Amino acid sequence: MSTAGAEQLALDGLAPRKRRKRAPAERTPASDRPIARVVLDVQATHLGQTFDYLIDERQSEDVRPGVLVRVRFGGRRVNGVVWERADRSDTPASSLRYLERVFGPDILVPASMREDITLIADAYGGTRANILRLAVPPRVARVEQEQRMVASLPRGRTDDEARRGAADELRRTLTPLYDGLQGLDEALHGGRFRAFALDPLPGAGQWCRLAGWMASTALAAGKAVVIVLPTMREVDDLSRELTALGLRMFERTGASHGGFDGDVAVLNAALPPAERYRAYMAVATGRVRCVIGTRAAMYAPVEGPALFLIYEDIDYQNADGMMPYAHARGVLRLRARSHDGVFVAMANARSPISQWECGANHVAQTPVSGFSTSIRPLQSVVKDRMPWVRWLNREELGRLGDTTVGARVPHTAVTILSKALENGPVLLSIPRDGVNEALSCAACHRRARCPRCTGPLARPQQGVARCLWCGAAAVGWHCPGCGGERMRVVRVGAAGTAQELRGLFRYVPIVTSSPNQPRGIVEDIACTPMIVIATPGAEPRVRGDTPGRSEYRAVAILDAWTSLYETGVDARVDTLTAWMRAVAMCAPRSRGGQALVLGETDPVLARSLALWDGTVLAERELVERAETGLPPAAAAACVWGRRDAVRTALDHIGAFHGDLAVVDTAQGEMPAVWGPVPIAQPRTIDARELEATQDRVKAVVRVPLSQRAELARRLRVEIARHVAAREPGELRFQLDPKDLT
């Protein structure tokens, strides 16, 4: 039986739909500048360039530099940002494709932001796509529609006169307290680039008052504002300060259209996608001129002259965790110079880079550093605002006749803290949770360090100890303090604090605040007698309506001896920062405030805290770093990955035998490369990555500051070559690393 031409029967409504093939729409290149140069969301370094695409005449009106588009690239669809439009292309006409889609006319990356992204990528050896991935939040279509509607509505009114009056009143209050603050006020009203390093007074919320004054003054002068803070706790503090000064937070209004409006937006990578994209669009379109937030705020798309402020620039949170590992301090300073704006690095403990920038002898300027003006509080004011600071080490306790020398909380400290508890809360600051091991001299307990680079020595698995920075073996080691030749392992950490203190302070409530505690971080407490145990950065605020009711009566730094065994390059500065943050929350001496440092520590740390002068430690750091060629005396980059890939990269950039092979130090010329030294595999790794990360090592390359830009360029070129050639193994690098281990 023939089945030719037979048709499969089907019930009504279930027959397969017959799809008609659509003829491809006819496209015509735009009559004006038909070429779009697009930065694609492709992270491979060797593809870090713009790619040319044709613009259809029907899309021409929407295709403006800075808009988001979708294109075909390498057989797949990818998003990108139109960087510019051009009349012609060097790409063969047969290879040019049209843009597939334009995501509306909204300019997400304004002109000055595109310039900034290029500068940042060059400064840190990355690509523009690397920066765009971090700077522009993922798109949320409904937010775009909402913002277009709101843009057509009148803005909420702000009482500019009242806001300006509040800023002027703050200026009159603050200016007499600081040496050089008048110069900052003039810069905020001026029109050229200026940079400052500012140390705030001790006292709860003093940094917040300064930041609020700078922000309101800059806005009144017509400048935009970008402020980067360590954590969301500081963001919340500053939000309350700015609200008190008459600024409105960017949030949903009570109007019938349900839109968002305000003067101050918060940018933070942890925000829900819609909230983050809404805040970003409000800034990019110019509706909001003031941005505060954590590290993500450094890429706020502000236009024109602006204030770029960073608080606690030494904090580890300021370094990006993805290529090209840009640092918020360097990014903000670079952008301030690009915008003819004002850069301010404000910190309780002056960072070595800020102190170097304030020095009169430095001559080299890098893309991310240069001269800064120092602003310090007047010493007479500091003395009045500080609590009494006492260092209760063995020598001092012996002089006082205290028989509990060696106790974690000696009797003298118990007496002082008990007296303070009669009037309010007491803060006990302990080191961060966890226990680690360090090598020290067996005789004097000084931290064991490498005689070659001053890096920390690691406990050997077998054989002699080795340096964690340069990998040198500590053969024939002897202690520079006492001459001892033996080392021992010291376990560093703090545990069981609450249980121990319950025996010392009976019937006193104890509150523990730490990220690793079941309750987590306690945000605030009442101004009543209690003991608060907190790790650095987790100190609860004291609730109170007046200065006398919003501060601790005493602050004690427990386990100060652990500061002697920290391994990082910035270990001492990090320690002083944590101590000064805690002591800043204490009542001044005029109200009986007491601050205690319990245990042995570096005398320069105790002196800096007692004088409330971070420049004391910063100057010591600069002297010691100049001797070994450490930043900021030199520029440095960490290069890590598989051993053969790292060695090949260092050889290609001239770090072994070329023009970057030596670096000048205070002790003469030294080899530019430290290492390579073995490092652990990444914490998260799958079977596919296991082979690529085997035999993993890290090396440190140091160059004169004048060659920092060249080092960044060579490393980027080498990474691009490594990827394009499909050479096996991991290979990465980071300029201006926070740590060398």
What's the pLDDT score for residue 1? 46
- With tokens 């500590």, the residue in question is 474
The closest of 306, 165, 209, 88 to 584, measured between CA atoms, is 209
Mean pLDDT of the chain: 88
By percentage, how much of the chain surpasses pLDDT 70? 90
User: Where is 354: in which H helix or E strand?
Assistant: helix 352-357
Lowest mean pLDDT among 119-128, 513-522, 587-596: 513-522
| pLDDT mean over 100-110 | 91
Helix (H, G, I), strand (E, B) or coil at 474: coil
Mean local confidence (pLDDT), 385-414: 90
Closest listed residue to residue 267, CA positions, set 307, 302, 240, 223: 302
Name, of 207-221, 470-484, 495-509, 548-562, the range with top average pLDDT. 207-221
In this chain, the answer to whether the domains covering 160-380 and 387-434+494-611 adopt an identical fold is yes
pLDDT exceeds cutoff 80 at 6? no
What pLDDT, on a 0 to 100 scale, did the predictor assign at position 47? 92
Dump pLDDT digits (tens) for 249-288. Answer: 998 876 655 678 889 999 998 899 999 999 999 999 988 9
Element (H, E) at 389: strand 388-392
For residue 261, what are the contacts with CB-CB under 8 A and spacing of at least 6? 150, 155, 156, 248, 250, 251, 253, 287
- Contact in structure between 323 and 126 (CB atoms under 8 Å): yes
* pLDDT for the residue numbered 22: 63
- What mean pLDDT is predicted for residues 498-524? 83
Instruction: Quick: pLDDT tens for 426-457.
Output: 999 988 765 556 787 877 777 788 888 888 88
| DSSP codes joined into one string, 207-272 | HHHHHHHHHHHHHHTT-EEEEE-SSHHHHHHHHHHHHHTT--BSEE-SSTT--EE-SEEEE-TTS-
pLDDT over 90 (residue 52)? yes
Give the architecture-level CATH label for domain 387-434+494-611: 3-Layer(aba) Sandwich (3.40)
pLDDT of residue 158: 62
Per-residue pLDDT tens over the stretch 372-396: 999 999 999 999 999 999 999 999 9
How large is the greatest C-alpha to C-alpha distance in the chain, in angstroms?
Answer: 117
pLDDT digits (tens, 9 = 90+) for 723-740: 999 998 899 999 999 888
For residues 683-711, b (16+ Cβ closer than 10 Å) or e, as one string?
eeeeeeeeebbeebbbbbbbbbbebbbbb
Q: Which residue has the tokens 């500091």?
A: 382
Pick the residue with more confidence: 333 or 477? 333
pLDDT tens string 54-66: 999 999 999 999 9
Average pLDDT over residues 610-627: 94
555 in helix, strand or coil? strand
Q: How far apart are CA 120 and CA 692, in angstroms?
A: 29
pLDDT in tens, 482-507: 888 888 776 555 446 667 777 788 88
Task: Identify the three-state secondary structure at position 375.
Answer: strand
Per CATH, domain 160-380 is 3.40.50.300: yes
CA distance 706 to 270: 37
- In angstroms, what CA-CA distances link 643 with 679, 698, 728? 10, 8, 11
pLDDT confidence of 470, banded at 50, 70, 90?
confident
CB contact at 8 A, 729 and 641: yes
* Best CATH choice for the domain 35-136 from the list 3.40.1440.60, 3.10.20.740, 3.40.50.300, 3.40.50.280: 3.40.1440.60
Could you identify the residue written with the tokens 């970003």? 280
Q: Is the pTM of this model over 0.95?
A: no
Name the helix (H) or strand (E) containing 717.
helix 708-724
Residues 6+ apart with CB under 8 A from 174: 181, 209, 210, 213
User: Quick one: pLDDT at residue 434?
Assistant: 55
- Read out DSSP for 411-438? HHHHHHHHHHTTTS-EEEE-PPSSEEEE
Q: Two tokens at 183? A: 């110069």
Q: How far is residue 359's CA from residue 371's CA, in Å, rounded to a whole number?
A: 8
| Chain-centre distance for alpha carbon 584 | 22
Domains of the chain by residue range: 35-136, 160-380, 387-434+494-611, 634-735
Q: Are strands 101-102 and 68-73 parallel, antiparallel or unpaired?
A: antiparallel
- The more confident residue out of 413 and 147 is 413
**CA–CA distance, 394 with 406 (Å, rounded to integer):** 7
User: Under the phi-then-psi rule, with left for phi > 0, alpha for psi from -120 to 50, and beta for the rest, what region is 493?
Assistant: left
Average pLDDT over residues 567-573: 90
CA 184 to chain centre: 23
- CA–CA gap between residue 391 and residue 319 (Å, rounded): 33
Q: What is the pLDDT at residue 724?
A: 93
**Per-residue pLDDT tens digits for 160-206:** 777 778 788 888 989 999 999 999 999 999 989 999 999 999 998 89
Quick one: pLDDT band at residue 699, thresholds 50, 70, 90? very high
Find, among 624, 628, 623, the residue nearest to 674 by Cα. 628
Half-sphere exposure of 673 (CA within 13 A, CB side): 21
pLDDT higher than threshold 80 for residue 10: no
Predicted pLDDT of residue 612: 96
Of the options 1.20.120, 3.30.70, 1.10.287, 3.40.50, the CATH number for the domain spanning 634-735: 3.30.70
Q: Give phi and psi for 333, each to the nearest 5.
A: -65, -45
pLDDT score recorded for residue 546: 75
**pLDDT at residue 686 greater than cutoff 60:** no
* 4 pLDDT above the threshold of 60: no
Mean pLDDT on 19-28: 70
